[in-house]
Structure 1
């Protein structure tokens, strides 16, 4: 019997992976990796390691989730050390829980190695603290779509009134609806909002505005992007640091799979 490590590779900057996650890459017989991991991490694998691409984009899945689950079990049952490498954190909208459930059901040993999620890292690299004593004492990590079985209006009414700061994953395509529903359910149209595209890598790009004007200002922004809503976005003007360094640096642009 082998073992599976479900590893968070972090948000993009190759140096943001954990020491334990890096060791899981180096010791793996097989690595199943996602689209948003930094491809430089694969250079840390042994020359004999099998690399299996499992990337998913909104309209194209290299492998279905059930297929990925089956491969994890197959390789582990062959006695191999398997590393499942995911962007960000595997348990924050990474479907790592589903993979762990399947491994548990099959009595296959596994470990979860957390990673830095883009909901924290992208705002930080854009100069936006998700909490701040003067602006926000609470933060919520949500997706741009409601979970199954919950009415869309009920979902956004709850979201709009719940937390000071909202960090929204997978929301770019629904940005107009998101802004409309947040304002409909009580958020001030002047509430600051930011979109951080390719957060933490050298071609990171950030657009800021308000709920009332961000759709027009960010119409060219595409996935992958984090959306941050709340008064903390105001601090970017003073605290932004990474994009200035990246623009002035001679370091080549970080390449990311996909």
Structure 2
């Protein structure tokens, strides 16, 4: 049995393929999450400040994305854009290059759209949780609103939001498995291909589970360390 495992993993190269799939999964997760949080931060601020029209638009976007399955978001982005992307790239003569990279781009954008919707709520809730007494103290010192926001409100809100952002990240890294439907060979699709070729689905899906669990465990450790560091002086351990 161990000999068969060695043959599958090493001699037939499936171990390397799974590691490459894991790297694609991590890349999509990191890029999508980073883009989602970057976009979510100003949107959350506008919703927190109840900017007319924009606040309602942000609220509608967040509710809509959180109210449908992530797979549907991926389908809408991919099949809603692939035809005109092909038409444009055909005109300029780089259709094949686009065909190769487009699933990755769609994967990052889909993950960003999903993580952004959840991050908006996390950051908005953190902004509202900043103690009002601190803001009143800043106002009593006649600090300009921009100094108060960037030096007091936002740093405290991001500290409070870190736990929620951790939850969004854990969800995001698992949602990357949905990107396999557009043909991108991330971890889940690689495991499915290996399972079909070798007729060993249990083995490869168990390996995929172990790899996903390893990613989330390492991520949890990193976020826990960051929370402990940021909570120093605030009663954190």
Q: Give TM-score, length-normalised by structure 2.
A: 0.25
Higher relative CO (Cα under 8 Å, sequence separation at least 6) belongs to 2
Greater Cα radius of gyration, structure 1 or 2:
2
Greater per-residue strand proportion = 1
Q: Which has the higher helix share?
A: 2
